[in-house]
Each structure stands twice: as structure tokens, then as C-alpha cells.
Amino acid sequence: MRKLITTFAILIAVLVAGMTALVLLVNPNDFKSYMVQQVKKRSGYQLVLNGDLRWHVWPKLSILSGPMSLTAPGAAQPTVTADNMRLDVELLPLLSHQLHISNILITHAVIQAIPESAAQSGLNTPIAPDDPSSLSPTLGHWSLDIARVAITNSLLVWQDPQGEQLNFRNLTLRLHQDETRSGHYHLLTALTRNQQTFSVDLEGQMDASHYPYKLLFSVDRGHYQLQGVSLPEQGIEGDTSFNAEWSPMSSAFALTNFSLHANDSDFSGEANGSLAPTLKLGLTLHSQTANFDQLLLSHTSLSSVPSALPHHESTGGDGVEASHVRTPVVVEKNNRGFIDWLNQSDISSRLTADQATWHGVTVNDLVLDAHNVLGVMNLHSLAGKVGGGQFGLQGEVDFRPELTKVQLQTDVQRIPLEIVQPLLQLPSVLRGAISLQGQFTGQGLQGKDIVTQWQGQSSVELLGLDIPRMNVQQMVIDAVTRASNRVNADPKIHPVIPNMQGQFTLSKGQLQLTTLEGENDQVSLNALGNINFAQKNLDITFNLLTRGWKGDPSLIALLANEPIPLRFYGPWSHLQYALSVDRLLKNNFKSRVQQWLKDNEKTKNSSSGQ
């Protein structure tokens, strides 16, 4: 044991003596001009090392520098500036006049990726061919080799093609490369903008053997997090991986094998495009589950909306108590920044999702196929399945005005009214399903904009329509039986509103029913009138021909041939109705008396003639 300790002591003494001798005999400032020339020859960049270089022997043999800067050819500002730099060198190669730098560590650096720091070349300056042999040049009898580069606690200033500067703070980049400029990297940084912070932690492989013509890299392990205002309380975070190709000279990029998880959403696919002169992006994505309420919306609130159940007017019928229901309202965050981004971009996208959530609505088999050019989006298809029905939209959306303009063709089949009414910020008083085929133009994308700022015309079909606690056919039956004891309804009949088809027009917040009619075994029904969404009132009259009566044959014949009008009118918060059965019966009695008088007169005339 004593001999082992003695051996280690001798080795340590020799190492200390060797490093001491190196510090005493080799002046690190002798390498300064050599490193400057090597950087100049290998990259064209101008390296400036201010102050003297000095040795640092623990925990590694290193050369420390004072303030340094690295400037691209012809650039007005340096690309990299730092207060200090550490070069970890290998001891044995120094003895044979080789400077092997195993690691470069730069802390508290400022890296500028802005036009003022970009390389400037003359119009006739030739571009050298991509020569991997230039990676290990020699100058004099010194040789230079760098395997690792680390930048920690630094700042990256990047300016996008539109001129906006973004500051990536707390930047840490570690790069390990071989002689072919292929290797491994690890990147951590954070971007704060508009009171939101986006942080990333990426790790993968990189191939810079063809740089600056092409840079290949992969993200084998990536984690990100987005937090701040107008976001879910827990933020948006997840993992990502992809392969990428970047062409610096053309600002073109391509992503393949793309995978992204964001909270409980997932996306996979590919992307390609370019960053300059304007952003051009092509996206092909698929998702098994996409929750757009978390990814795109600030919040969904609830607001009390008055029910449109009627109050009885004195003309007849029983009063129906009004109720208040709470319905979700479409509340979108201030997304002008996103719209400005669309106005400056060329984006072609195709998104498919097995299941998506939007404003609390589950959409299956979602398809979005659109092409946006500088704020004008050609919507090839927006389709999906909802609540046993399906929808399809086509048209154009213009994001350039302050209030978005739309031109849409709609094909809606059997969508539940319980879904449609809250999205349009309408009282949830109807049940059933609706089908629409029409064309619309207008301004705005929120629910209230659709019903007040759009115009157009459409066919409509109402299926399985039901008004809870109110049935128009039963209201007529009750009114007739109260007005006359000569007829009564078949107790086996349970009134059901028939499916109804028709047409309507929408203009300046007013929906005009031009036709709406339906028929089943119990009733024939048609409706005319209008709904004013801006003023929240309506005036609609239903005309009913009811069947299944028992009693006086003449009165049954009357009810089967004379429609009974049922009118709903007034504001939604205090809706009233009028049902004039008495008038119909009085008219019938009057007509029967007149007919009796006519028949009696004819009898008298015929008797006198004889």
C-alpha cells in the first residue's frame, strides 16, 4: 500500500512539474496571431482577442482570454462578442508543437444574427467549393484541431425577414464534432415576447460538412414549454423530434419525420419552405387528438342568455314560464399578432385529425386544406363529423381588413342544434338537428358576427325539432278543446313536430323565412316570418292543419282544411304568442248560419215558383 501511494505521489509530482515547466517555458500569447490567422483562413471571420492570454491549469489545462469578438467579412458589427473565453488544450500535443483545443467555452456572449453582422461580399467575389480538407489546415509548424464548443449563459439576437428582432436569452449550446464536422449538439434557450415565454431544450445530431450550402441536423430529444398571458394556466408544453435540412444561402428549410406533443394533443408529418424574402411554409400534418381549445383559445366563458320561451298574450292559450339558460360564448383572444403574421406569409397547409376539440365541441375526421397568400386564405376544404352529422365549408377568408371578410359555401348535414346555438351565441331553446346548403358573405368570425354581419341565402332542414316545455301542436289541441266541446283529440296521439324544409335569407342581422314546411301523420305545418338577431326579437307565424280529431264531423272537416295560425313575436327575453282558435270557430259558425239562410232562401224560392 505504501508503494502504491508513493507511486501516485511521484506521478502527481511529475505532472505538476511538467505543467509548471509548460507555464514557465511556453507563452500562450505566442498562439494569439496563429489563432487569428487560422480563423481568418478557415472561415473568413476576423477574430479579435483583447488583452493577454494566460494559462489556467485546474481542473484542465486551459488558455484564458480577455474580451473577444468575431466579425464576419465586411460586416458592420461583430457576430459574437464576449467578456472572456476559455480554451481547453491537450498537454502532449503541445510538446510536438500542436495546439489541440479540446473545448472552447464562451460565457456571457452576445451573438447577433442581424443584417449588420452578416457577411458582405462583392458581386464578383467567387464562392469557394465545399472542401472538407480545409477543416484541418496547417500554418507554419503549428496545427489546430477543435472538437468541442460550448456557449453558456449567453444572448442570441435574431432578426426575422420582416425586420423584427427576437432575443433568445439564457442560451446554452454545446457542440461536439469530428474532423468531418459531424457531431452532437445540445441547445437550451428561452424567448420572451408579448408577456409569453417560450423555452426549449433540444438535443440531437448535426452535419455541417456542406455548410454554408447545407446544414443537416436532427432533434432526437426535444422538450419545450410556452407560458404567459392568454394561455392555459398550466401553459403549453410537450416533446418533439424531427429531421431538418437548412440551406443558409437560400433561407430554405425542410422538416421530415416530424412529431410533436402539446399537452394532450399530438401532431406528426412534414414541413418545408423558406424564411426570406417572406415566410413561405408548406405543412402536412396528422393528429390523433387535437385540442384547439388549449392551443388556440385564451378561454371559454359562460354568459347568461335569456331563453326564448314565450309569454302568453290575452288572445288565448296558457302562459309558459320563461327560463334563463347559461350557454358557452365564443370568446377569442386578441390575435392581431397572429393575423399580421398571416398577412406577411405564404402558407399552404393540410391538417387531418381523427378527433379534434374546438369550443368544447368534439369533431371527428377533421380535414383542413387551405392556402394563405399574404392574408388571403383560399379555403379548399374544412370538413368534419359532429354529433352524428357532418359539415363542409369552402370559400375565401380575407384577414387583411381590421374585421375579417369571408365568402363561404356551406354544406351542413344533421348537426345538432344544441351545438349550433351556443357557437352562434343564441339561446339554447331548440332541440333537434339542422341541415344547411347555402352561400354567405360577411365580416368577422365570431358567433355574433356570423348572425349580425353576414348575408346570404340557404336551404334549411330541421330534423326532430323539439321545444322543451312547449309543443306547438299540443298548444293548438289544448286551445281547440277549450274553445269547443264538440271535438277532442285522440288520446293515443302524442304530438310530434314534423321534419321541416325551406329557404331563408340573411341580411344585416335579419333572417327572413321565405318557406318552411313539413308534414307527418298528425299535422301539416308551415311557417313564415323573420328573426332579428341584432335586436334579439322575432315574429314568426306557424300555420297548422291537425289530424286525429273525434267528434262533430263538420268541425273535424273544418280543422282538417283550415290552418290554425300560431304566432310568436316580441323580444327573446319576453316572447309572446297569439293563438286565435275562437275566431276560427266563430267564422265557421257564421259561415254555417249563412249557408243555412242561403239554403232556406232557395227552398222558399223553389216553393213559390211552383
- Model confidence pLDDT, tens digit, residues 313-370: 544 444 333 333 333 333 344 456 677 778 888 999 999 999 999 888 999 999 999 9
Residue 536 DSSP code: T
Average pLDDT over residues 109-129: 71
Average pLDDT over residues 228-241: 87
pLDDT at 5: 57
Residue 58 has pLDDT above 90, yes or no: no
pLDDT at 190: 95
pLDDT at 470: 72
Residue 503 has pLDDT above 70, yes or no: yes
* Closest residue by Cα to residue 317 from 568, 572, 609, 21: 568
For residue 229, which amino acid is it?
V
Average pLDDT over residues 94-116: 79
pLDDT top residue among 550 and 284: 284
pLDDT at 575: 83
* In contact, 233 and 224? CB cutoff 8 Å: no
* In contact, 382 and 368? CB cutoff 8 Å: yes
Residue 143 has pLDDT above 50, yes or no: no
Residue 504 has pLDDT above 50, yes or no: yes
Residue 26 DSSP code: -
What gap in Å lies between CA 460 and CA 415, rounded to an integer?
12
> Which residue pairs, CB below 8 angstroms and at least 24 apart, start in 424-427?
424/448, 424/450, 424/451, 425/303, 425/305, 425/327, 425/329, 425/330, 425/451, 426/305, 426/327, 426/451, 426/533, 427/305, 427/306, 427/307, 427/308, 427/325, 427/327, 427/572
Write the DSSP assignment of 435-459 as a string of letters: EEEEEEEEE-SSHHHHHHHEEEEEE
Secondary structure of residue 33 in the 3-state scheme: helix
What gap in Å lies between CA 187 and CA 203, rounded to an integer?
6
Question: Across the chain, what does the average pLDDT equal?
Answer: 79
Structure-block grid coordinates of residue 82: 464576449
pLDDT confidence bin for 141, thresholds 50/70/90: very low
What gap in Å lies between CA 396 and CA 391, rounded to an integer?
17
Q: Which residues of 505-536 are buried (b: 16+ CB within 10 A; e: fewer)?
A: ebeebbbebeebebeeebbbbbbbbebbbeeb
- Model confidence pLDDT, tens digit, residues 25-48: 567 777 788 788 878 887 788 888
Residue 531 has pLDDT above 60, yes or no: yes
pLDDT confidence bin for 91, thresholds 50/70/90: low
pLDDT at 480: 74
pLDDT at 341: 79
For the chain, first and last CA: distance in Å? 158
Average pLDDT over residues 525-541: 91
What gap in Å lies between CA 156 and CA 191, rounded to an integer?
10
pLDDT at 447: 85
* Length reported for the chain: 610
Write the DSSP assignment of 586-600 as a string of letters: HHHHHHHHHHHHHHH
- Strands 142-146 and 98-107 come out as parallel
Element (DSSP H or E) covering residue 230: none
What gap in Å lies between CA 375 and CA 109, rounded to an integer?
38
Average pLDDT over residues 509-531: 90
* In contact, 300 and 293? CB cutoff 8 Å: yes
Secondary structure of residue 11 in the 3-state scheme: helix
- Strands 148-159 and 98-107 come out as parallel
pLDDT confidence bin for 185, thresholds 50/70/90: very high
* Closest residue by Cα to residue 566 from 584, 579, 582: 579
* Closest residue by Cα to residue 253 from 217, 207, 202, 201: 217
pLDDT confidence bin for 1, thresholds 50/70/90: low
Instruction: Give CA torsion, residues 476, 477, 478, 480, to 10 deg.
Output: 80
Structure-block grid coordinates of residue 549: 280529431
Residue 186 φ/ψ, nearest 5 degrees: -145, 125
Residue 30 CB neighbours (<10 A): 11
Write the DSSP assignment of 109-142 as a string of letters: -EEEESGGGS----TTPPPPP--GGGGS-EETTE
